[in-house]
Amino acid sequence: MRILGIESSCDETGVAVVEASASGVPRLLGAALHSQVAMHRDYGGVVPELASRDHIRRVLPLTEAALAQAGLSLHALDAVAYTRGPGLAGALLVGAGVAHAMALALGVPVVGVHHLEGHLLSPFLSADPPAFPFVALLVSGGHTQLMRVDGVGRYTLLGETIDDAAGEAFDKSAKVLGLGYPGGPALSRLAQQGDPAAFALPRPLLHSGDLDFSFAGLKTAVLTQARKLGPALEARKADLAAATEAAIVDVLVHKALAALRATGLTRLVVAGGVGANRRLRERLAQAAQRDGWRVHYPEVALCTDNGAMIALAAAMRWQVGAGSAADAPGAFDVLPRWPLEAVALDGARATASAAGR
């Protein structure tokens, strides 16, 4: 089974091909990606209309590139998958339209994939894939969730943010510090030269006793601190960046450990753009070594949005016999708001989980 995956939910156009047999971890055959970061930088954030138009320009050349890398022609494909949601409606429609047209022309099935399921399963393409069950910490620009994952389609929400996402906290704080867009990587780079203990920033909900997150107050605290510093901010920027990063990472690590304790599981998967954060990785590695559990990440290139995770999620769902809800022939829609629980399968059907575990 060879599946093409198309990702166009936000500001990355990604196309990839994976090959899957009835069991075992699917293999990535080819992948191509275009990031729109440079285009949106002037605006300080993603401009949805520009994003959609750029996806249109990129998606077919990227499809050709991914197929060329895989050494395959379009006719070798057995299915076409695309991100059906959540994300920007216009951007999603580009991938959905192209996927449906391609599948119709080739006479193969088309599969709408949940973007977060893609992130969640992306570590299966790494050199050190996890085994089910595990706790997943999903940390992206739009989402911060802890899930219990018992198999493909077997997801239980343990906790989530009640306001901003972790990536949003990075991005908004970076904006306060004048670091441009996207702020996460820039703030993290600057933080390496600063002192994380230089400022006492809040760790919202750290001791709330549940697995929920809140980051909106942190951004306000960073803004207040920056205003208080006034002209002195310039010289203290690295310190404030380091303190901000430390506050966000402290909360993420604390809650991830609490989720492992609460479930009794010994594997943690970290997925989504913030999973690229170096301090987060260091802190989790220390805790894992101390407490005797394992942490898994996707390959660095698959941490942020990409087509491979979409093709992979489609392949792993196919392995457990779970297709996506069929649209009427020739008709399709996208789901800009779409809870992950909506793609959960009933326990019995998913027990023969993918990857043979």
Of 140 and 277, nearer to Zn ion (C-beta) is 140
Residue 101, H or E segment: helix 89-106
Q: How far is the CB of 115 from ligand KG4 (least distance, A)?
A: 7
Q: Find the helix packing angle between 278-291 and 183-191, rounded to 10°.
A: 70
- Using CB under 6 A as the binding rule, whether residue 19 contacts ligand KG4 is answered as no
Q: What residues form DSSP beta bridges with 27?
A: 19
Of 85 and 183, nearer to ligand KG4 (C-beta) is 183
- Using CB under 6 A as the binding rule, whether residue 184 contacts ligand KG4 is answered as yes
CA pair distance 271, 137, nearest whole angstrom: 6
Task: List CB contacts of 238: < 8 A, sequence separation 6 or more.
Answer: 190, 191, 192, 193, 194
Which 3 state secondary structure label does DSSP give 52?
A: helix
- Using CB under 6 A as the binding rule, whether residue 183 contacts ligand KG4 is answered as yes
Among the listed residues 130, 151, 167, 307, the single contact to ligand KG4 using CB under 6 A:
167
Phi and psi at 6, nearest 5°, equal: -120, 125
Among the listed residues 5, 142, 159, 194, the single contact to ligand KG4 using CB under 6 A:
142
Of 2 and 279, nearer to ligand KG4 (C-beta) is 279
Of 174 and 226, nearer to ligand KG4 (C-beta) is 174
**Going along 36-180, which residue ranges are E strands?**
79-85, 110-114, 134-139, 144-151, 154-160
Of 140 and 214, nearer to Zn ion (C-beta) is 140
In this structure, are residues 16 and 306 in contact, taking their beta carbons and an 8 Å threshold? yes
- Using CB under 5 A as the binding rule, whether residue 7 contacts Zn ion is answered as no
- End-to-end C-alpha distance for the chain, whole angstroms: 20
In this structure, are residues 84 and 111 in contact, taking their beta carbons and an 8 Å threshold? no
Phi and psi at 77, nearest 5°, equal: -80, 140
The site string for ligand KG4 over 78-117 (x = CB under 6 A, - otherwise) reads: ----------------------------------------
- Paired tokens of 280: 């987060």
Residue with tokens 């793609």: 343
- Paired tokens of 80: 């076409």
Residue length, the chain?
A: 357
Q: How far is the CB of 166 from ligand KG4 (least distance, A)?
A: 8
* Cα–Cα–Cα angle for 109, 113, 114, rounded to 5 degrees: 165
Among the listed residues 4, 10, 59, 355, the single contact to ligand KG4 using CB under 6 A:
10
- Using CB under 6 A as the binding rule, whether residue 273 contacts ligand KG4 is answered as yes
- Using CB under 6 A as the binding rule, whether residue 140 contacts ligand KG4 is answered as yes
- Paired tokens of 77: 């494909």
**Going along the chain, which residue ranges are E strands?**
2-7, 12-19, 27-35, 79-85, 110-114, 134-139, 144-151, 154-160, 267-271, 294-296
In this structure, are residues 84 and 324 in contact, taking their beta carbons and an 8 Å threshold? yes
Give the binding range for ligand KG4 (CB under 6 A) out of 179-187, 214-222, 291-299, 321-329.
Answer: 179-187
Kindly identify the residues of this chain, within the stretch 266-305, that bind Zn ion according to CB under 5 A.
305
Of 92 and 260, nearer to Zn ion (C-beta) is 92
Kindly identify the residues of this chain, within the stretch 108-167, that bind Zn ion according to CB under 5 A.
140
Of 47 and 265, nearer to Zn ion (C-beta) is 47
- Using CB under 5 A as the binding rule, whether residue 11 contacts Zn ion is answered as no
How many residues make contact with ligand KG4 (CB under 6 A)?
19
The site string for ligand KG4 over 302-341 (x = CB under 6 A, - otherwise) reads: --xx------------------------------------
Among Zn ion, ligand KG4, none, what does residue 212 contact (CB within 5–8 Å per kind)? none
Of 59 and 186, nearer to ligand KG4 (C-beta) is 186
- Using CB under 6 A as the binding rule, whether residue 277 contacts ligand KG4 is answered as yes
Contacts with ligand KG4, residue ranges (CB under 6 A): 10, 140-142, 167, 170-171, 182-185, 188, 272-274, 276-277, 304-305
Residue numbers of the site for Zn ion (CB under 5 A)? 140, 305
